[in-house]
Amino acid sequence: MSKALEGVRVLDMTHVQSGPSCTQILGYLGADVVKLESPSGDITRRQLRDVPDVDSLYFTMLNGNKRSITLNMKSDRGKEIFTELVRRSDVMVENFGPGAVDRMGFTWERLQEINPRLIYASIKGFGPGSYASYKAYEVIAQAMGGSMSTTGFEDGPPTATGAQIGDSGTGIHTVAGILAALFQREHTGRGQRVNVAMQDAVLNLCRVKLRDQQRLAHGPLNEYPNQEFGDEVPRSGNASGGGQPGWAVKCAPGGANDYVYVIIQPPGWKPITELIGRPELAEDPDWATPEARLSKLDKVFALIEEWSSRHGKWEVLAALNEHDIPCGPILSTRELIQDATLRENGVVVSVDHPERGEYSTVGSPIRLSDSPVEVVRSPLLGEHNEEVYAELGLSADDLTALREEGVM
């Protein structure tokens, strides 16, 4: 069975996380992703190593379904070979600092001359303007994109989220841009630039908080548990901040992740009162309606927690689901990596690596009925030099000379 992006060649000049997360998704969708690395390799091959002298999990989990080649872009011969790679590629992706590729001699105008059909995607920390030269990392993007100011509890400091919305979140936004550009190329025959900034991607993921910022002009945000409101959206703990109130309630035996997140919809209130042993609250005018409960959401969830804290989270989950009450257990990283359902669905997969042995990684979050995904291990540094360079017409003698000259 063919793959959705079969026949699409991606020249992957990315490193660390935002870029590799993008190109890995393209690889999952069937593109031929050729990861171009300097002879010393992507820095994350060596970062956060848990096994000496072996590619780190940081690298392996972000670079599956790719081929690896090495090339010294500072050499004249390296630039010649790079030119040929560009000529034969459909997409080029990079996340260097601003202007880095231009300084190599490959401006957008030059790349268009080499390959007018090329789609050139760039990931940067920030868009044009006063922030453009700033260095960006995951949590800096969270800080400047609206996430940190609205995450955490009201009386605590701004908090980063564990989800990598700055890096991998930007990567998936870039995938969308690349796919749109590939589709448009079918009609125009021309490539184009795709630019995505980490700050912009985080802000897009925080758009409901901008919604609430504007709602503040018309009064307090009643769905929030906060008692006081200023002129900025506050941190609101575990509140859903949406139309239906929610909170994480404690469960037995009281461990760090013994919680279930519960959302109270109007039809769910009566069965909740029965579960917690307070059926009279279903008819009590001080508790019966969503409007009546809004002013005392802390007390509402405290009542639920009195019940839930006497039961394990899976027992609480089963009881709530029996009454169609939206809920979900807080799953730890250990529980997720061992989850049978996620394993069966290919969301968490085991991959064999020739040096590391077996490791677990996240499979494709995108499923297409006619484009099955096979998760392939990450490549060793330069593992596909002979294979890819042979496709450019270079002989074994040429490759030997390139190695001796330090070009690859």
Q: Which residues are catalytic?
A: 167
**Quick count: other Cβ atoms within 10 Å of Cβ 236?**
20
Interatomic CA distance for residues 17 and 61, integer angstroms: 10
**Quick count: other Cβ atoms within 10 Å of Cβ 280?**
10
Residues in contact with 165: Cβ distance below 8 Å, sequence separation at least 6, in sequence order: 141, 142, 145, 147, 201, 202, 205
Q: What is the DSSP letter of 309?
A: T
Region for residue 123 given its phi and psi (left: phi exceeds 0; alpha: psi -120 to 50; beta: otherwise): beta
Interatomic CA distance for residues 296 and 282, integer angstroms: 15
Radius of gyration of the chain (CA): 26
**Quick count: other Cβ atoms within 10 Å of Cβ 235?**
20
Count Cα neighbours of 47 within 13 Å in the Cβ-side half-sphere. Answer: 11
Interatomic CA distance for residues 13 and 71, integer angstroms: 11
Interatomic CA distance for residues 374 and 28, integer angstroms: 7
The distance of Cα 292 from the centroid of its chain, to the nearest Å, equals: 39
Q: Are 13 and 96 in contact (CB under 8 A)?
A: yes
Interatomic CA distance for residues 73 and 168, integer angstroms: 26
Q: Are 362 and 347 in contact (CB under 8 A)?
A: yes
Question: What is the H or E stretch that residue 360 is in?
Answer: strand 357-362
**Quick count: other Cβ atoms within 10 Å of Cβ 178?**
27
* Angle, helices 168-188/18-28, rounded to nearest 10 degrees: 50
